Every structure is written in C-alpha cells, then in structure tokens.
Structure 1
C-alpha cells in the first residue's frame, strides 16, 4: 500500500479523532444516539487512515499530501 498522506495531514486527522472521541465520550453534547456512534466511527476511520498513511478517498480523487508528490 502506498502512502498518500503527509505528516501534517496524519497529525491533523489524529487530533480530530481525539477531539471526536472526547466529545462523544466525555461530554453529553452528542447524546448516545446516532451522532455519538457516527462520531466514534469517523474517529476510527481517521485513526486507521492516519496510522496507515493511506486514505482510499485520496487515491480515488488523486490527492497526495506527502512529500515528493507530483
């Protein structure tokens, strides 16, 4: 699997994932319904793509945020 995400992009995704998890779990802003689970799902996807360094949507659209991209 090729890397198509740069360090800044990956760090930003991890920060957003942490914020979503904290918002969902530590506060009552999202309740316990659909938005709660949606926030956790998005946080999980952001975490996995940040760790892997590859975003499938970027591959489809043709975006590369890593160094050396053309």
Structure 2
C-alpha cells in the first residue's frame, strides 16, 4: 500500500472521528445513525493511522505530496 493521504487529511479524519465518539458517548446521536457514524469514524481512524484510503485509490487521487 502506498501512502495517499497527507497530514492535514489525516488530522481532519481523526478530529471527525473524535467528535463522533464524543457525540455518541454524550447520547446526542442514537439509533441507526449512531451505528453508521461510529462505523465511519472507525474507518476514518484506521485509514488515518495507515495513511491509506482505499476510496482515494479507486478514484485515483492522492493528497500525499511524497511519491513512494
């Protein structure tokens, strides 16, 4: 897997995941929406830690400036 995410993209995804986690823990989001958002937040965290987004690969874009 080549890296295809830059630092800003990774930080942005982590922030979104943390916000979703806080909203869920506070009971602000509930029901099916909460399960969907928690799943998306988990995927955001996972892709942030490995610096690779499969969707970016399918679309053919890369926000990473360094070529591996």
Same fold by TM-score, threshold 0.5 exceeded?
A: yes
Aligned residues: 67
1:29 matched residue in structure 2 = 28
Give ranges in structure 1 of 5+ residues lacking alignment.
none
Runs in 1 of length 4+ with deviation above 4 angstroms? none
Q: TM-score, normalised by structure 2?
A: 0.90
1:67 aligns with 2:50: no
Query: Deviations 1:19-56 (Å, cap 9, x if unpaired)?
Result: 01111112x2212x101111110110000000010000
Find the aligned partners of 1:21 and 1:64 in 2 and give their Cα distance: 27
1:20 matched residue in structure 2 = 20
Q: TM-score, normalised by structure 1?
A: 0.88
